[in-house]
Amino acid sequence: MAPTSWSSSVPWLLAVAFIGAHPAAAQDTRAAMVKLIEAQGVEDAATLAAMRAVPRHEFVPPEQRSRAYRDHPLPIGYGQTISQPYIVAYMTEILQPGPGMTVLEVGTGSAYQAAVLAETGAEVFTMEIIEPLAAEAERRLQRLGYADRVHVRHADGHFGWPDQAPFDAVIVTAAAGFIPPALVDQLRSGGRMIIPVGSVYGVQNLILVEKDAGGEVTTRTLLPVRFVPMVGGER
Q: Which domain holds residue 87?
A: 3-227
Give the whole-angstrom CA distance, residue 48 versus residue 158.
29
Q: Is residue 70 part of a domain?
A: yes
pLDDT in tens, 97-113: 999 999 999 999 999 99
- The number of domains in the chain is 1
* Residue in 83, 110, 189, 199 annotated catalytic: 83
Residue 180 located in a structural domain: yes
Percent of the chain with pLDDT over 70: 89
**What is the helix, strand, coil percentage profile of the chain, to 5?**
35, 30, 35
The predicted pLDDT at position 5 comes to: 38
> What pLDDT is attached to residue 99?
98
pLDDT number for residue 38: 96
Q: Write out pLDDT tens, residues 162-178.
A: 999 999 999 999 999 99
- Specify if 47 maps to a domain: yes
Q: Is residue 29 part of a domain?
A: yes
Per-residue pLDDT reduced to its tens digit, 188-227: 999 999 999 998 788 999 999 999 999 999 999 999 999 9
Q: Supply the DSSP symbol for 168.
A: E
**Residue 83 appears among annotated catalytic residues:** yes
Does the structure show a pLDDT above 60 at 6?
Answer: no
Q: For the domain that residue 120 is a member of, what is the CATH number?
A: 3.40.50.150
104 and 83 Cβ atoms separated by less than 8 Å: no
Does residue 232 lie in a domain region?
no
Q: Say which range, 127-131, 145-149, 224-228, has the weakest mean pLDDT.
A: 224-228
CB atoms within 10 A of CB 210: 15
pLDDT tens-digit series, residues 47-92: 999 999 999 999 999 999 999 999 999 999 999 999 999 999 999 9
| 45 occurs within a structural domain | yes
From CA 144, how far away is CA 114, in angstroms rounded? 12
- 11 belongs to a structural domain: yes
Upper half-sphere CA count for residue 222 (Cβ side, 13 Å):
18
What is the number of alpha carbons within 13 Å of residue 46 lying toward its C-beta? 15
Instruction: Give domain status of residue 235, yes or no.
Output: no
Residue 2 has pLDDT above 90, yes or no: no
